[in-house]
Chain A
Amino acid sequence: MLLQLRKNAIAMLSILMAFSFTCLNSTQAAAADGSEILKQVDRNLQPDAYEMYRKLINVEPDGSKKEFVLYSVKKGQDKMAALFLSPASEKGRATLRIGENMWLYIPNVGRPIRITSLQSVVGGVFNNSDILRLDYSAEYNAENLAEEGDSYVLDLKAKTTAIAYDRLKMIVDKKTVLPTTIECYAASGMLIKTLYYKKPKDFGDGLIRPSVLETDSPLYKGYKSVMIYAKIKKKELADEVFTLNYLSKVDELR
């Protein structure tokens, strides 16, 4: 009797271990697949080093709008600079991001000051980390991958606490491997905002990607912000372009 019980216990333990091992393997496999998909999303959204023109539009509940035009340059996974070309009240302002370090240069102030990813230099729903967005794979690990019809659903977790959003739920179109919707969550689990990628466009040089990014937020009920991409082009850039000394001179790159 005792022997039989021991045999059963060993058999049960073996089954449990086998099940755990299978689950662990499948989670790791999903994460590995998720990481690959995330890297592919980054490659499909932008070249490694490029220049870009964007328009940001903040729309208020009554329909009134405020527009900003930015010229941006990016190199590698963690360097990006953006210069305001319009409106006149913002013209000449420039922001720089190196990893999680962010600075804002205001011509009148005449020197860069450190800013944080959660602030917004333009007001509205887009914050600084949205405007100076690095590669998703540079900031997030894919923790889970699921499939829903024509889409992948990626659960992403921030690599450090310095990232603006703790978790992302990214819906990726299987065919184009481009994001369609991204939900951004705080560490508390609260939904901060939702990003919608729309209107795919051929930017040339083999780059076909969404040309419009819209966002709304339960924290800004009735408000909407839109980003329109007009030009994304590969560009050779020196590392020294992404330094504080160069911030006042970004316009010379155009």
Chain B
Amino acid sequence: MSSARSCIFFSFLGLLAWFSVFIFSTCRADEEFSFNLDEFEKKPLDWGGYVELKWNHAKINRDSVFLQLNPADDSDSSLDQYSGTLQFDGSYNLKSSTFNWLAQASASHDDLGWYDVADVFEAYASLRPTPLATISLGKKSYKWGKGYAWNPVGFLNRTKDPNNPEESLEGFITAEADLVKSFTGDLQTVALTTVALPVVEHINEDFGETYNVDLAAKLYLLYKDTDIDFLILLGNSQSERFGFDFSKNLATNFEIHGELAYIPNQKQVTLQEDGSLLRGEESALSSLLGIRYLSESDVTSIVEYYHNGSGYSEEEMGNFYQLLAEGNAQFTTAGLNDQLNTARELSLQGYGRPQPGRDYLYARITQKDPFDILYLTPGITTIYNLRDESISLSPEVAYTGVTNWEFRLRYTYLEGNSLTEFGEKLNSSKLELRIRYFF
């Protein structure tokens, strides 16, 4: 470890020690139970957020075919990264109208330099003339679907990280109308959400082809104690897509959920064995089936099977990894980067997205309050690529026992043969310590 890195590491540890002393000296103050309601009086302006400190120690996979695509030091076998994030959210309420926002800024430092980014994830106004109807306009984040790790029916969703599915994500600028009606009987609720999403220069450009307005709708039913959604996306920015999802408690400790998405004309770029590119359209049917089970000993298990109809087969992914391997050889021997540039383009067009394969199994198992230690939650998360049999394993332990603080230590280990998804990741393992303070 270089002296600069040692300095940063020990500074980080020092900061942690200070936090620990501060926290444990304040949280045990004994006092009688009291409840002053005035502190919680409703105010028009409401705000909050969190500050996060994170340290990552990643072991570099020197055999990864992605090595040449990423600017890492040739001699490094590991990479340390320190980052800080500020999330600021809130709302201003005036009678039946509300303005909501959520912004995030982060800065990080590793052996290669400093990086910083700031973005407004959400900023929208909503008007609610009656509890039955809401109209909203602005930048809003959508989380459609019932799946925990993946959402094939999340037609307006940003792609989430299955290892951190509960993180905030940037929204799209939309106009939305939401209608809801309750009934008595088997059909208890009907709700219709309609969304218009314009895609023009500088507005929602990353959603799809520009100069279009896409329309999306979600019809929700609570029927016989089952959540049911029918979803649709129409427009020219992305190809049309249709979806269905459901969720139901089969017992007090057992929930089942599923999603089905159909894209009749999915645009796809596929790398052929001979190195040529095949551009075309084909129908894609994606599905997800999952369960959540709570055992008597307070162990929660979430298991999901995901079939990605527009994903790449093992052979197609193999062709891509082969292109990268040949590109690396071409660059090393001749200094040429034609093949690496092609691989970089393909990476942006689909091969580089999270979980680009066809079939996956996800499992997350957490134990609440083990050994009578309140607010301690150890767990393990795994993502298994069923086609190439590579795997990601992430044991972790989280503690939330100190008011407004959250501590999480997580280790991620990736295993797979060469030319497989997790076998070719840039990191072969990663240790992460995350501390959040909420305000």
Contact = CB atoms under 8 A, between A and B. Distances in A.
Given A88-B48, A101-B249, A107-B89, A240 B225 contact: no
Interface of A: 53, 55, 57-58, 60, 62-64, 66-67, 69, 71, 85-89, 91-92, 98-102, 106-111, 113-114, 116-120, 123-124, 161-164, 212, 220-223, 226, 228, 230-231, 238-246, 249, 251-252, 254
Closest 6 CB pairs of A and B: A239-B182, A110-B143, A89-B438, A111-B143, A88-B438, A238-B131
A160 B53 CA distance: 47
**Interface footprint category on B:** 35 or more
Interface stretch (B111-119, B311-319, B320-328, B401-409): B401-409
B42 interface: yes
A220 B368 CA distance: 13
B20 to A, nearest CB: 14
A119 B188 CA distance: 24
Contacts of B37: 53, 230-231
Contacts of B143: 109-111
Given A64-B27, A89-B403, A116 B439 contact: no
Interface stretch (B10-18, B28-36, B332-340): B28-36
A124 B255 contact: no
Interface of B: 27-28, 30, 33, 35, 37, 40, 42, 46, 48, 50, 89, 91, 93, 96, 98, 128, 130-132, 134, 141-145, 148, 165-169, 178, 180-182, 188-189, 191, 193, 220, 222, 225, 227, 247-249, 251-255, 257, 292, 294, 300, 368-369, 372, 374-375, 400-401, 403-406, 436, 438-439
A222 B148 CA distance: 35
B46 A251 contact: yes
A228 to B, nearest CB: 5
Contacts of B130: 238
A55 B368 CA distance: 22
A52 to B, nearest CB: 11
B40 A85 contact: yes
Nearest to A239: B182
A244 B227 contact: yes
19 contacts: A53-B40, A55-B35, A58-B374, A64-B401, A66-B403, A71-B40, A88-B50, A98-B188, A101-B249, A110-B141, A110-B142, A111-B143, A116-B294, A119-B300, A163-B252, A221-B372, A246-B180, A252-B96, A252-B128
Contacts of B439: 88
A248 to B, nearest CB: 9
Contacts of B33: 55, 57, 212, 226, 228
B168 A108 contact: yes
B42 A98 contact: no
Contacts of A57: 33
B403 A60 contact: no
Contacts of B252: 100, 116-118, 161-164
B374 A89 contact: no
